[in-house]
Chains A and B, each alone.
Chain A
Amino acid sequence: MSMPFYVSPEQLMKDRADFARKGIARGRSVAAIQYADGVVLVSENPSQALHKISEIYDRIAFAAVGRYNEFENLRIAGVRLADMRGYAYDRRDVTGRGLANAYAQTLGTIFSSGGEKPYEVEIFVAEIGDDPAGDQIYRLTYDGQVYDEHRFAVMGGTHDKVVAYLTKHYHEGASLEGAVRVAVDALGHDDAAPRTIPPEDLEVAVLDRTRSQQRKFRRLRPESLVEVLGTRTALPEDAGAAGAEPESTTGSGEDDPPVAPPVS
Chain B
Amino acid sequence: MRDPDIGAVRPAATGAPRLDGAFLAPGSSSFSDFLSTQAPDLLPVRRGLPPGNAADLAPHGTTIVAASFPGGVVMAGDRRATMGHVIAQRDIEKVFPADEYSVVGIAGSAGLAVELVRLFQTELEHYEKIEGTTLSLDGKANRLAALIRGNLGMAMQGLAVVPLFAGFDHRTDHGRIFSYDVTGGRYEETSFHSVGSGSLFARGALKKLYRDDLTETEAVTATIQALYDAADDDSATGGPDMARRIFPVVSIITADGHRRVPDAEVAGLADQVVQARLQRPDGPVAGLL
Contacts and interface: CB of A to CB of B under 8 A. Distances in A.
A150 interface: no
Given A76-B130, A79-B129, A88 B42 contact: yes
A80 B18 contact: no
A74 B24 CA distance: 6
Contact of A102 (B9, B16, B42): B16
B104 to A, nearest CB: 16
Given A80-B34, A89-B6, A102 B18 contact: yes
A242 interface: no
Interface string A42-78: 0000000101001110000000000000000110110
A83 B42 contact: no
B26 A76 contact: yes
B16 A81 contact: no
B17 A105 contact: yes
A87 B44 CA distance: 11
Chain B residues touching A, majority SS = helix
B18 A84 contact: no
B52 interface: no
A56 B129 contact: yes
Contacts of A246: none
Nearest to A109: B18
B268 interface: no
Given A84-B34, A87-B118, A77 B24 contact: yes
Interface in B1-50: 6, 9, 13-19, 23-24, 26, 31, 34-35, 38-39, 42
Nearest to B115: A87
Interface stretch (B81-89, B119-127, B221-229): B119-127
B128 to A, nearest CB: 9
Contact of A106 (B19, B38, B129): B19
Contact of B125 (A49, A54, A83, A102): A83
A98 B11 CA distance: 13
B16 A101 contact: yes
A215 B125 CA distance: 10
Interface string B70-113: 00000000000000000000000000000010000000000000
A86 interface: yes
A79 B128 CA distance: 11
Contacts of A101: 16
Nearest to B41: A88
B122 A83 contact: yes
B132 interface: yes
A87 B16 contact: no
21 contacts: A49-B132, A54-B129, A77-B19, A83-B122, A83-B125, A83-B126, A84-B13, A84-B14, A84-B35, A85-B14, A87-B118, A89-B6, A89-B14, A101-B16, A102-B15, A102-B16, A102-B17, A103-B19, A105-B18, A105-B19, A106-B19
Given A77-B19, A83-B31, A102-B16, 19 more contacts: A74-B24, A76-B23, A76-B130, A77-B23, A77-B24, A80-B34, A81-B19, A83-B125, A83-B129, A84-B39, A88-B6, A88-B39, A88-B42, A89-B6, A102-B19, A105-B19, A106-B19, A106-B24, A215-B125
